[in-house]
Amino acid sequence: MKIALIDTGHANFRSVERALLAAAQLLPSSTSAQAQVLRTHDPDIIVHCDKIVVPGQGGFGDCVSGLTTRGLDQVIAERVAAGVSYLGICLGLQALFESSAEAPGVVGLALLPGRCEKLQTAPDIKIPHMGWNRLELQHGGHPVLEAAGGNDAWVYFVHSYHAVPRDPALIKAVVTHGTQQVTAAVARDNVVATQFHPEKSQAVGLRLLAAFLRQ
């Protein structure tokens, strides 16, 4: 199994790579022994991979620029359309949408309809939303989230924006932050993405990554 870890130039790739390799060890030995994580921004490598993982830290504009200036947006769209499984992490989720209030005028991958909005401020809410929070599954959840622990899963967040899909059914998990619900995970067909960081979410995160690799 070849896993393309997409290098946008704006992420903590080493921790994601380590987490993916650790998650692969939870798979049957015949699969785990063949798992390769290829950190790349080369379209010719991506087209030969079985899974695509897009992590991201920083800003929406930087993440999208890291994809579009190298033509990675096109190859990712083509591979997703061909049925290759995609996992987005943090900005790898936000970049799936059409736009973000964080970077007016910047067009995202537009693989999912909707935009990203800044979290609401209030006296009882700290922005960025940082730390552990408990998932609340929505719209039937998703097998990857169920494998991670479902409604009992505590996961780690660091973000100030979240996705607001035009189709609410795309939201597969939320968390409660103060008085607001925050989009924690979205999914459609072979695309699944988390606003939280599986690589920072300890055993829960490893179970989620292993479930993604099994798809």
Predicted confidence pLDDT, tens digits, the chain (215 residues): 999 999 988 767 899 999 999 999 999 886 777 889 999 999 999 999 999 999 988 899 999 999 998 899 999 999 999 999 999 999 999 999 999 999 999 999 999 999 999 998 878 788 999 999 999 999 999 999 999 999 989 999 999 999 999 999 999 999 999 889 999 999 999 999 999 999 999 999 999 999 999 98
pLDDT at 25: 92
pLDDT at 141: 96
pLDDT at 140: 95
Two structure tokens written together for 96: 């799936």
Quote the pTM value.
0.95
pLDDT at 164: 98
Q: What residue segments make up the domains of the chain, in order of their start?
A: 2-214
pLDDT at 52: 98
Q: In 3D, which of 131, 137, 142 has the Cα closest to residue 152?
A: 137
Fold topology of 2-214? Rossmann fold (3.40.50)
Query: For residue 139, how many other CB atoms are within 10 A of its CB?
Result: 14
Which helix (H) or strand (E) covers residue 85, if one does?
strand 85-89
Owner of token pair 């061909």 = 82
Asked whether the beta carbons of 63 and 10 are under 8 A apart, the reply is: yes
Bridge partner residues of 21 (DSSP) = none
Bridge-based pairing of strands 180-188 and 191-194 is antiparallel
Strands (E), 35-125: 36-40, 51-54, 85-89, 99-100, 114-118
Two structure tokens written together for 136: 């609340």
- Which amino acid is it at 213? L
Q: In 3D, which of 83, 214, 108 has the Cα closest to residue 161?
A: 108
Q: What are the C-alpha distances in Å from 158 to residues 106, 129, 150, 197?
A: 22, 6, 20, 8
Q: Which residues contact 197 (CB under 8 A, 6 or more apart)?
A: 89, 90, 155, 156, 157, 158, 205
Write out the catalytic residue numbers: 90, 197, 199
pLDDT at 9: 80
pLDDT at 57: 80
